[in-house]
């Protein structure tokens, strides 16, 4: 029973370490076909094998507990592999560019003088973003504006929104 608990504890420690540090066995399993093993898979298998085996050893004996542990470990390791593969292969949205700013509505948060920069806030790809802003007229705080040009990655030209 103690051996099963130790194996389960080692699996949990590996799992926590992989979450905190990252892929511990990075590159170790690359020789295997199909990208089937990762630290999460190994750690999940060991934890489930050890803890399921320690629960079953009293009623099934060592051989039976080993079988229960292997089945439980395979199930948890398989789920861990499926989840980590899904997360690592998931697509993300494209990074917004300067052209994505054109036409966006915003609000002046720092007065925009007629010669110089103020600041506006706009929502870009769902994120509230503060940008430096120029305008052909003085725009007071709270004025609704629209982006008409991108001057740099952090500054835009705006006009009063009607």
How confident is the prediction for the chain on average, in pLDDT? 85
Number of domains the chain contains: 2
Contact 51, 5 (CB under 8 A): yes
Q: Which long-range contacts (CB under 8 A, 24 or more apart) does 62-70 make?
A: 65/4, 69/4
pLDDT at residue 133, as a whole number: 95
Are residues 8 and 84 part of one domain?
yes
Are residues 76 and 7 part of one domain?
yes
Whether residue 16 lies inside any domain: the answer is yes
The residue among 88, 116, 143 that closes a domain is 88
The residue among 58, 88, 118 that closes a domain is 88
Of 99, 139, 104, residue with least CA distance to 122: 104
Whether residue 59 lies inside any domain: the answer is yes
Residue 137 has pLDDT above 90, yes or no: yes
> Of 7-11, 45-49, 91-95, 116-120, which has the strongest mean pLDDT?
116-120
Are residues 106 and 52 part of one domain?
no
Whether residue 93 lies inside any domain: the answer is no
pLDDT digits (tens, 9 = 90+) for 74-118: 898 888 888 877 777 777 777 777 788 899 999 999 999 988 899
pLDDT at residue 111, as a whole number: 95
Least reliable range by pLDDT among 25-29, 96-100, 134-138? 25-29
Are residues 80 and 35 part of one domain?
yes
Which of residues 29 and 2 earns the better pLDDT score?
2
- The CA dihedral of 127, 115, 136, 161, to the nearest 10 degrees, is 30
Q: What is the CATH number of the domain that holds 104?
A: 2.40.50.140
Are residues 15 and 45 part of one domain?
yes
3-state secondary structure of 157: strand
Instruction: Tokens 């803890």: give the residue.
Output: 51
Confidence of residue 40 (pLDDT cuts 50, 70, 90): confident
Whether residue 107 lies inside any domain: the answer is yes
Domain that holds residue 12: 2-88
Are residues 10 and 76 part of one domain?
yes
Residue 131 has pLDDT above 90, yes or no: yes
Residues 6+ apart with CB under 8 A from 142: 107, 108
The residue among 66, 88, 110 that closes a domain is 88
Which of residues 88 and 33 earns the better pLDDT score?
88
């Amino acid at each position: 029973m103690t051996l099963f608990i130790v194996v389960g504890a080692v699996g949990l420690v590996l799992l926590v370490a992989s979450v905190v540090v990252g892929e511990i066995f990075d590159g170790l399993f690359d020789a295997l076909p199909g990208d089937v093993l990762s630290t999460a898979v190994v750690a999940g298998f060991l934890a489930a094998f050890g803890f399921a085996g320690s629960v079953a050893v009293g009623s099934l004996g060592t051989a039976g507990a080993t079988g229960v542990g292997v089945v439980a470990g395979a199930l948890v390791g398989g789920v861990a592999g499926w989840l980590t593969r899904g997360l690592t292969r998931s697509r993300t949205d494209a990074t917004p560019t300067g052209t994505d700013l054109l036409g966006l509505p915003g609000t002046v948060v720092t007065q925009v003088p007629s010669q110089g920069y103020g600041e506006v806030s706009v929502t870009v790809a769902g994120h509230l973003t503060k940008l430096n802003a120029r305008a052909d007229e003085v725009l007071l705080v709270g004025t609704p504006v629209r982006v008409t040009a991108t001057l740099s990655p952090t500054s835009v030209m705006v006009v009063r929104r009607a």
